[in-house]
């Protein structure tokens, strides 16, 4: 009987004893990443399709819009100026769809981000080791604020434009207003929204085929598909990937927005005035510089 009581007392004491085990589990460090961020720079040199400085054509005006968002559809790093599109290291290719008929970018699967925000990352261990001289990014969707004039009123509005080769759009918000499309739209489709005295106004249009600037300084040695928005830029120094990196590498994709919104100016007053007959002709980014950090 005494033995039974003693055993019971020990069990009760042990059940009430505070757990003093302080062992902690240290999480494994995150794998080093190759990170891509967008930067929108209105002071960066304004280039043409061939990567050389470009002035405005006669009869045209332009402005440097304030960028809100941008999405990328494809990322490739290439080894030399002669590397054909697709023959480098393709790091990212966003979903496409035939919901609208022919194959097109699936806008609903695109991720649009703002200035200095990450739009893609991949473990460095998954990147093929090598030395890369050029970066190619296919731009797909851009959203920005512009200034305009209408019947003597000066205002601001939002433009959403689609610069990919072809985009299937179910619906999208320009800024606050939703626009239903449910169709494929070719490169250069755009929609505009503004608010005047509490009333919202929207419009849409299509820039002429082939009028969207796509900067490719390798056009003579490594051309891009017609109608694509595969912008190309050179690293200041070749980027070496070993596959055994211990720290993240960030590539800031600096995009020139220098007078990237361009129109035929009916009266050459330098103001975008659709009511006066001004028509949009170009919404292409005017240069790409990959900056390694």
Query: Which residue did the predictor score with more confidence, 6 or 83?
Result: 83
* Distance from C-alpha of 110 to C-alpha of 21, rounded to nearest angstrom: 48
CB 165 within 8 A of CB 207: no
* Distance from C-alpha of 6 to C-alpha of 9, rounded to nearest angstrom: 5
The proportion of the chain whose per-residue pLDDT surpasses 70, expressed as a percent, equals 90
Q: Which helix (H) or strand (E) holds 173?
A: strand 166-173
Q: Which helix (H) or strand (E) holds 6?
A: helix 2-16
The pTM assigned to this predicted structure is: 0.88
Looking at residue 151, what is its pLDDT? 87
Check pLDDT > 50 for residue 1. Answer: no
Check pLDDT > 80 for residue 217. Answer: yes
Check pLDDT > 50 for residue 205. Answer: yes
SS3 state at 108 = helix
Q: How confident is the model at residue 26 (pLDDT cuts 50, 70, 90)?
A: low
The angle subtended at Cα 240 by Cα 130 and Cα 33, nearest 5°, is 95
pLDDT in tens, 159-172: 999 999 999 999 99
Check pLDDT > 80 for residue 28. Answer: no
Q: How confident is the model at residue 30 (pLDDT cuts 50, 70, 90)?
A: confident
Looking at residue 152, what is its pLDDT? 87
pLDDT in tens, 42-82: 999 999 999 999 999 999 999 999 999 999 999 999 999 99
Strands 66-78 and 60-63: unpaired
* Distance from C-alpha of 196 to C-alpha of 58, rounded to nearest angstrom: 32
* Distance from C-alpha of 201 to C-alpha of 3, rounded to nearest angstrom: 90
* Distance from C-alpha of 55 to C-alpha of 71, rounded to nearest angstrom: 27
Find the Cα–Cα–Cα–Cα dihedral 140, 141, 146, 149, rounded to 10°. Answer: 90
Looking at residue 25, what is its pLDDT? 62
> Which of these, 160, 289, 164, 157, lies nearest to 235 by C-alpha position?
289
* Distance from C-alpha of 49 to C-alpha of 18, rounded to nearest angstrom: 72
- Structural domain spans, the chain: 30-292
CB 204 within 8 A of CB 179: yes
Average pLDDT for 117-129: 97
Q: How confident is the model at residue 177 (pLDDT cuts 50, 70, 90)?
A: very high
pLDDT in tens, 226-249: 999 999 999 999 999 999 999 999
Average pLDDT for 174-185: 97
CB 32 within 8 A of CB 198: no
């Amino acid at each position: 009987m005494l033995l039974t009581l003693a055993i019971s007392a020990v069990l009760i004491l042990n059940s009430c004893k505070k757990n003093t085990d302080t062992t902690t589990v240290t999480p494994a460090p995150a794998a080093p990443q190759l990170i891509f961020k967008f930067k929108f720079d209105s002071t960066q040199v304004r280039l043409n399709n061939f990567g050389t400085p470009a002035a405005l054509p006669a009869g045209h005006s332009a402005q440097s819009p304030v960028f809100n968002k941008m999405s990328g559809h494809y990322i490739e790093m290439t080894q030399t100026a002669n590397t054909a599109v697709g023959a480098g290291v393709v790091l990212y290719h966003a979903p496409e769809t035939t919901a609208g008929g022919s194959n097109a970018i699936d806008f609903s699967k695109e991720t649009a981000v703002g200035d200095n925000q990450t739009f893609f990352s991949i473990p460095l261990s998954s990147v093929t080791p090598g030395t890369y001289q050029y970066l190619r990014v296919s731009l797909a969707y851009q959203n920005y604020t512009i200034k305009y004039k209408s019947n003597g009123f000066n205002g601001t509005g939002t433009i959403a434009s689609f610069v990919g080769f072809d985009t299937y759009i179910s619906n999208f918000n320009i800024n606050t207003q939703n626009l239903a499309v449910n169709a494929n739209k070719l490169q250069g489709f755009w929609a505009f929204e503004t608010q005047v005295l509490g009333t919202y106004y929207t419009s849409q249009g299509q820039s002429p085929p082939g009028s969207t600037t796509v900067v490719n300084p390798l056009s003579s040695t490594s051309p891009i598909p017609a109608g694509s928005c595969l912008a190309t830029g050179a690293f200041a120094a070749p980027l070496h990937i070993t596959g055994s990196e211990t720290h993240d590498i960030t590539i800031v994709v600096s995009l020139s927005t220098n007078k990237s919104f361009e129109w035929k100016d009916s009266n050459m007053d330098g103001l975008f005035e659709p009511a006066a007959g001004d028509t949009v002709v170009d919404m292409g980014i005017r240069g790409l510089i990959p900056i390694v950090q």
